[in-house]
C-alpha cells in the first residue's frame, strides 16, 4: 500500500519538478514542490521495502507434536 503511494508521489513530483504541466501559481513554487514530493515518494518506497524485508526475514519455528495414544515406555 505504501509502495503505491510512494510511486504516486514520485510521479507527481517529477511532473511538477520537470514542468511537464505548467500551472500559473504565484503562491507555490511548483519546482520546489515537485522536488519535495519526489523525495517524499522515494523515502516512502525505501521505508516500505525495508519494513517488508524485515517482515519476510523473521523466522518462525514451528514445532509439531503428535500424540500417538500410547503411553511412554
Three-class SS state of 70: coil
| Cα–Cα separations (whole angstroms), residue 53 to 2, 46, 47 | 14, 11, 10
Q: Domain for residue 37, yes or no?
A: yes
State how many domains the chain has: 1
The mean pLDDT value of the chain amounts to 86
Domain membership of residue 6 as a residue range: 2-54
Q: Is the model's pLDDT at 44 over the cut of 80?
A: yes
Q: Domain for residue 59, yes or no?
A: no
Reported confidence tier of residue 11, pLDDT bands at 50, 70, 90: very high
Q: What is the C-alpha to C-alpha distance for residues 56 and 17, in angstroms, rounded to an integer?
A: 35
Q: What is the C-alpha to C-alpha distance for residues 55 and 57, in angstroms, rounded to an integer?
A: 6
Secondary structure letter of residue 19 according to DSSP: T
pTM for this model (two decimals): 0.71
Q: Domain for residue 28, yes or no?
A: yes
Q: Domain for residue 61, yes or no?
A: no
Q: Domain for residue 68, yes or no?
A: no
Q: Domain for residue 18, yes or no?
A: yes
Q: Domain for residue 40, yes or no?
A: yes
Amino acid at each position: 500500500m505504501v509502495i503505491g503511494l510512494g510511486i504516486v508521489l514520485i510521479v507527481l513530483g517529477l511532473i511538477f519538478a520537470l514542468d511537464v504541466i505548467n500551472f500559473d501559481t504565484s503562491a507555490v513554487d511548483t519546482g520546489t514542490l515537485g522536488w519535495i514530493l519526489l523525495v517524499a515518494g522515494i523515502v516512502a518506497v525505501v521505508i516500505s521495502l525495508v519494513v517488508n524485508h524485515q517482515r519476510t526475514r523473521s523466522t518462525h519455528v514451528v514445532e509439531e507434536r503428535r500424540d500417538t495414544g500410547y503411553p511412554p515406555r
